Amino acid sequence: MANQQDEQTPLEAEILREVAEEMKEEQLKQLWKKIGPFVTGVIVLALVVTGGIEFYKSYQNRRSLEESELLQTALSLVETDEAAAGSEMLKTLSETSSRGYRYLAAFHYTDYLVSQGQDKYEEAIHTLDRIISDQKAPQPFKNLALFNRILLQNENGSLNYEEMESELNKLAAKSDAWAPMALEFAAQLALRQGDTEKAKSYWQKILGMSGVSEEKRIRIAEYISFIEGNQKSESGK
């Protein structure tokens, strides 16, 4: 057998080579029949995903630009005799936007409501509550909304002092950056309740913190000095 294979003529060798090539080609065809649809599907999916991502980015950019323009238009209208129309645009944007314009519009809408008098304070407070309870809202926006709500509730007489004091203490405990402001608000609430000792304790905490501006330190020290001066005057009577 070995001798017969060794003695193949050039023609036989060429025929065997062609047969081998055809077998390889047939095997490739069979393999492609098996994996071809899968490969094609993967390619199509990759193209769809890539195109989808680009479309989404384009859509988001376009929508962001549109909302920016809406916010600017609304703010311009609020300064004119079409303030009511501008305020409605702010309200809609604060409820429908899925990005930062939601919160900016909400704050501007709150300012508009406050400018209309205390009859609108309840709606303004409700708008601020939506920011505070929004899980997606950045924490600085939540904090600012909390401070504004305290001021408005204090003005219209609906403030729950104990509840707000608790909220401010929580904020002061978990955020060094906002702690001085939270404690200062807490001190003001204590003064509203006539508790000067509690107010002093909050102010002293502020003075014991690092990073507090010199201007704030001077002001806080003056508050404490004023309170202590009054206490001495009263005790001397």
- pLDDT per 10-residue tile (average), the chain, 237 residues: 50 58 61 59 57 55 76 88 91 84 90 91 94 89 91 88 90 85 91 90 92 90 86 68
Domain assignment present for residue 6? The answer is no
Domain assignment present for residue 57? The answer is yes
Q: Domain boundary residue among 141, 159, 177? A: 159
Please report the pLDDT score of residue 2 as a whole number.
44
Q: Domain boundary residue among 107, 127, 159? A: 159
3-state secondary structure of 98: coil
Tell whether 190 and 214 lie within a shared domain: yes
Please report the pLDDT score of residue 236 as a whole number.
61
Tell whether 132 and 56 lie within a shared domain: yes
Backbone dihedral angles phi then psi of residue 101, each to the nearest 5 degrees: -60, -25
Please report the pLDDT score of residue 110 as a whole number.
93
Tell whether 55 and 168 lie within a shared domain: no
Q: Residue 113: what residue type?
A: L
